[in-house]
Amino acid sequence: MKKLLIVLIALLPGLAVAAGSNVPLQPANVDLNDQESLQRGFVLFQENCAGCHSTQYQRYDRVANDIGIPIDEMREKYMFTDAKVGDLMENAIPTKDAANWFGAAPPDLTLVARVRGEDWLYSYLNGFYADPTRPFGVNNTVFPLVGMPHVLQTIQGVPVMQDDGTIVATGGTMNAEEYQQATRDITAYLKYAGDPSQMERKQLGMWVLGFLFIFFVVAYLLKKEYWKDVH
């Protein structure tokens, strides 16, 4: 409970700013049963986000097992600190340095999709646009005056706000459709990270419902057998 309060307190400044945006959110439409999407989202997160943002309530081995990444591959490709595979997924950036560079230390993102919602997160990742008045040259439609660079600009390209409010990017390694899929994958991974047991709970729930149905049938047949000779 204490850790959850710490995370929520860290997110409150961002929530206050984000609350000022009236931009309609785009539906994320993520599918946690799509393991390949979760894998792609994890890789994108580790390569582009994990340098500053941690997911410190997750463990490397749990993520690897849940989304189908071999432990050796996790250790060799996606662990960028000297952590062990059973450790929590913390980043290496010093908190004080991060606060000096960005104005505030980048928050942990384990619960971001759970706190703000998957549609908010997906819209945020697709909401960056060029703004030369900002320190990092970008702003965000969902999070006005955002204090971080657009770390996905290499794959999206330079996003320019059009007169009709749409954002068009050029010069990236992905086209618009591919970039939207990439941000959907990241959103799916962070939705999983916020509640890694949810799929297991759903599967267990189906087993429980199946058991109750079978038990009901057996109980009904026993009831008929017992009462058939009772007058």
Residues 163-188 have pLDDT tens digits of 999 999 999 999 999 999 999 999 99
Residue 109's pLDDT band, with cuts at 50, 70 and 90, is very high
Q: Is the pLDDT of residue 10 over 80?
A: no
Q: Please state, for a pLDDT cut of 90, what percent of the chain lies above it.
A: 61
- Per-residue pLDDT averaged across 142-160, rounded? 95
HSE, CB side, 13 Å, CA atoms: give it for residue 95. Answer: 5
Per-residue pLDDT, 204: 74
Per-residue pLDDT, 190: 97
Which two tokens mark 203? Answer: 């599967």
Residue 17's pLDDT band, with cuts at 50, 70 and 90, is very low
Q: Is the pLDDT of residue 191 over 50?
A: yes
- Per-residue pLDDT averaged across 144-150, rounded? 92
Per-residue pLDDT, 18: 41
Query: Among 48-52, 127-131, 193-197, which range has the highest average pLDDT?
Result: 127-131
**Pair 53, 124: CB distance under 8 Å:** no
Per-residue pLDDT, 138: 97
Helix axes 35-48, 176-194, angle to 10 degrees: 90
The more confidently predicted of residues 86 and 6 is: 86
The more confidently predicted of residues 90 and 133 is: 133
Cβ-proximal residues to 140 (8 Å cutoff; 6+ apart), any chain: 124, 127, 128, 129, 146
| Closest among 121, 148, 108 to 26, alpha carbons compared | 121
**Pair 89, 75: CB distance under 8 Å:** no
The more confidently predicted of residues 173 and 82 is: 173
Per-residue pLDDT, 6: 40
Per-residue pLDDT, 93: 74
| Closest among 91, 10, 90, 26 to 58, alpha carbons compared | 90
